[in-house]
Structure 1
Amino acid sequence: MAQYFEVHPHNPQARLLKQAVALLQQGQVLAIPTDSSYALVCVLDDKNAVDQIRRIRGVDDKHLLTLICKDLSELASYAKVDNRQFRLLKQATPGPFTFVLEASKEVPRRVSHPQRKTIGLRVPEYPVVRDLLDILGAPLLASTLILPGEDMPLNDPAEIRGRLEKDLAGIVDAGSVAAKPTTVLDLTTMEGGGDASVLRAGQGDWTKLGLSL
């Protein structure tokens, strides 16, 4: 049965977030709000928790999971980033973008794409996520909370509780959030002088980065 943490969306109570982080450190899976719907999250190095996220989502190991980082310096620890990629990342973060980059050796092979060896990375602006990352002191592995057979992510914590209470250890409730996923940018196409490519149009405005579909 999931624990329920009702927090303020802009000034989340540290006491409640610390309780949620304690569950993550025990290898549990939580549903948390982000600036682009709710997401399933766990710590990076717990295989069972990663497998649980894939089971809830109904996806296999080819589905790209996302590493949520607190800043660019942390992101650069988990991805190989050249100067051009870094300049674009600096321009786009924090914000509702997910970046596909070549994974570094710090990323366990089971969470990177099995063929391409890539990983999705985010630096969000949402206060609840940023405070969770500060308390945890490490990135979170995440997947947008879209259930099998559905197209739209869940954005209402009451609905999440009703449908997934037995599958999760905890739900961080900051009220309803946007139901539009992040914009996904493939930065691996920048290697060799190319441009970033838009894999999914979402909340982030890629045109402000000088990109086009």
Structure 2
Amino acid sequence: MAAEFLKLYPTNPDPRRIDYIAQALRRGAVIVYPTDTVYGIGCDIHNARAVERVARIKGVKPTKNDFSFICYDLSHIADYARVSNSAFKLMKRVLPGPYTFLLEASGNVPKLLNTNKKTVGIRVPDNDIPRQIVHELGNPIITTSIRDEDEVIEYSTDPELIFEKFQHQADIIIDGGYGGNIPSTIVDATDDDFTVVRQGLGELVL
């Protein structure tokens, strides 16, 4: 069965559709959604089967994943990561924004993702569609880019082309307008010697 194709506007996204998507995520749905950079694939972090589906779509093993968490804000970050005062101040200054912060994972992350990874990526995108979904859901969602890191693919920015590609893999595909093809800037904040691991859309001034 083909995925649902739902239109949402980044400015004041329809609360009824946000609630509908959050309920679907609780039932194990996999969604494709816009961020402030490229479109992402994600699911509820508490649904192990959905996480496995996302890993299959991405072509990676669930235990080897480099998934990040999309959060509404930084209020519950301590549930998933250990963050120093310096890192928190930096994140508070630049988020929401096109950054992924690598932090030391809390004890909850291995249980959630069935992985031994010691770090977790935290994203608070400057786009109200995923943030409002997370807010309604009550916990973060997994995020991984639909973009191939080695090439810019035409389908990665056009919602209708994204639907054509992923309609039989995801349950809901959100049309939030054209996306970008430059990923987030990844910042290693596991210690206070902050390092840009990947330069993306965000220009970080330390």
TM-score, reference length from structure 2: 0.91
What runs of 5+ residues in structure 1 fail to find an aligned partner? none
Question: Aligned partner of 2:29: which letter?
Answer: Q
Corresponding pairs, count: 202
Contact 2:10-2:128 within 8 A present in 1 as well:
yes
Question: Aligned partner of 1:155: which letter?
Answer: T
- Which residue in the other structure is 1:205 paired with? 203
Q: Report deviation, 1:155.
A: 2.1
Tell me the alpha carbon deviations over residues 98-144 of structure 1, each in whole angstroms, 9 at most, x when there is no partner: 00111112223463763x51111111221111211221121111111
Q: Distance in 1 between matches of 2:45 and 2:26?
A: 10
Question: Aligned partner of 1:171: which letter?
Answer: I
Q: Distance in 1 between matches of 2:19 and 2:183?
A: 26
- Which residue in the other structure is 2:40 paired with? 39
Contact 1:29-1:170 within 8 A present in 2 as well:
yes
- Which residue in the other structure is 2:160 paired with? 158
Change (3 A) 1:199 1:69: same
Q: Which residue of 156, 177, 184 maps to 1:182? A: 184
Contact 1:69-1:140 within 8 A present in 2 as well:
yes
Contact 2:157-2:180 within 8 A present in 1 as well:
yes
Task: State the identity as a percent.
Answer: 34
Question: Aligned partner of 2:161: which letter?
Answer: E
Contact 2:5-2:174 within 8 A present in 1 as well:
yes
Question: Aligned partner of 2:75: which letter?
Answer: S
Tell me which stretches of 4 or more aligned residues in structure 1 moved more than 4 Å: none
Q: Once superposed, what is the RMSD of the aligned Cα atoms?
A: 1.8
TM-score, reference length from structure 1: 0.88
Question: Aligned partner of 1:87: which letter?
Answer: K
Question: Aligned partner of 2:145: which letter?
Answer: T
Q: Distance in 1 between matches of 2:164 and 2:150?
A: 16
- Which residue in the other structure is 1:19 paired with? 20
Tell me the alpha carbon deviations over residues 80-104 of structure 1, each in whole angstroms, 9 at most, x when there is no partner: 0121221221222111100011111
Contact 1:64-1:113 within 8 A present in 2 as well:
no
Question: Aligned partner of 2:152: which letter?
Answer: M
Contact 1:27-1:43 within 8 A present in 2 as well:
yes
- Which residue in the other structure is 1:48 paired with? 49
The aligned runs of 1:132-143 (5 Å cut-off) are 132-143=133-144
Tell me the alpha carbon deviations over residues 12-41 of structure 1, each in whole angstroms, 9 at most, x when there is no partner: 111122221121111110001000111001
